[in-house]
Amino acid sequence: MKVDIRLERASLSWRHHCVFSNLDLELPGGQWTCILGQSGVGKSSLLQLICGIADEADISGSIHCSDGKPLDGRVAWMAQDDLLLPWLRVIDNVVLEARLRPGRREPGQYELARYLLSQVGLTDKADTLPGQLSGGQRQRVALARTLFQNRPLICMDEPFSALDAINRLRLQDLAADLLADRTVLMITHDPLEALRLSDRVLVLNGSPARLSAPIQPSGKAPRQVSDTAILSLQGQLLELLAGEAP
Ligand SMILES: Nc1ncnc2c1ncn2[C@@H]1O[C@H](COP(=O)(O)OP(=O)(O)OP(=O)(O)O)[C@@H](O)[C@H]1O
Ligand SMILES: [Mg+2]
């Protein structure tokens, strides 16, 4: 079942700095929502609030799921830093969440993890330690770990930022494929990435920050980078990002 998620009147302050207040955000079930915004505007803070991990901040607001159940325990979070545990092999980092869960280990977990690592192009790195990987390779492990968690809401903070242009497009295609029916909230600085992958693109702007009305690219993701409709929306997005649009 696809669950719609609604954030209402969300406010967040770090100490006395009000990042946003009275913010509303809809995350329609089965859709991919993307948020862009200038550095420091509050994108990661918003993601942390939704994931329930903005512990040091002063927060208020509410989150409603259309199935009436709480969101707790149903979110996968891919942080801006990859957060790989340096003493665990790559494959053990991918299955980390399952290892932490109480109860018996399900058969097939390591097979699934190896499959996901092969999908992100890291078959031969499964048994190495994260310290021996490049920044982009580490980010691909973090993506495999996020996909492994198989949660209804996937929150990703700049998941492809450390990748070269070609791997970035490959990974975008892979994520679009593997997350096709999921509810996804992604942060990115790349307007083209947002427009290739998302059903809805919003811009967070100002202080306290506000969300723009969504831009909704047509057609199915992943869209072609040469798509003229996407390129024209990119101009619109850049204006919004610069704070120049009405
Ligand atoms: N743990 C924290 N303690 C205090 N202030 C914080 C903390 N985390 C973020 N901030 C402040 O909140 C504001 C928003 O930060 P946030 O990390 O959400 O920005 P962002 O939009 O994700 O930026 P970037 O694009 O650079 O990742 C910034 O002014 C930042 O200094
Ligand atoms: Mg951030």
Summarised one tens digit per residue, pLDDT across range 36-88 is 999 999 999 999 999 999 989 999 999 999 999 999 889 999 998 889 999 99
Q: Tell me the pLDDT tens digit for each residue of 218-229.
A: 999 999 988 999
- Consecutive H or E run containing 148: helix 135-149
Please give the pLDDT value at position 104: 62
Q: In this structure, which residue's CA is closest to atom 29 in ligand 1?
A: 40
Whole-number average pLDDT of the chain = 92
d(Cα 37, Cα 35) in Å, to the nearest integer? Answer: 7
Q: Tell me the pLDDT tens digit for each residue of 180-198.
A: 889 999 999 999 999 999 9
Residue extent(s) of CATH 3.40.50.300 domains in the chain: 1-74+152-246
Q: Tell me the pLDDT tens digit for each residue of 139-157.
A: 999 999 999 988 889 999 9
DSSP 192: H
Query: Is the Cβ atom of 87 under 6 angstroms away from ligand 1?
Result: no
Residue 22 above 70 pLDDT?
yes
Give, for ligand 1, the residue of 15, 19, 157 to mutate: max count of ligand atoms closer than 8 Å to Cβ.
19
Q: Which of 91, 101, 92 is nearest to 122 (CA)?
A: 91
As given in the structure block, the two tokens for residue 10 are 């969300």
- Which protein residues have their CB within 5 A of the ion that is ligand 2? 44, 80
Q: Which atom from ligand 1 is nearest to the alpha carbon of 56?
A: 1
Q: Which fold has domain 1-74+152-246?
A: Rossmann fold (3.40.50)
The strands making up 5-14's β-sheet, listed across from edge to edge, are 17-27, 5-14, 58-65
Q: Which of 201, 147, 168 is nearest to 31 (CA)?
A: 201
Query: Is the Cβ atom of 207 under 6 angstroms away from ligand 1?
Result: no
- Coil, strand or helix at 235: helix
Q: Which atom from ligand 1 is nearest to the alpha carbon of 42?
A: 18
Please give the pLDDT value at position 246: 45
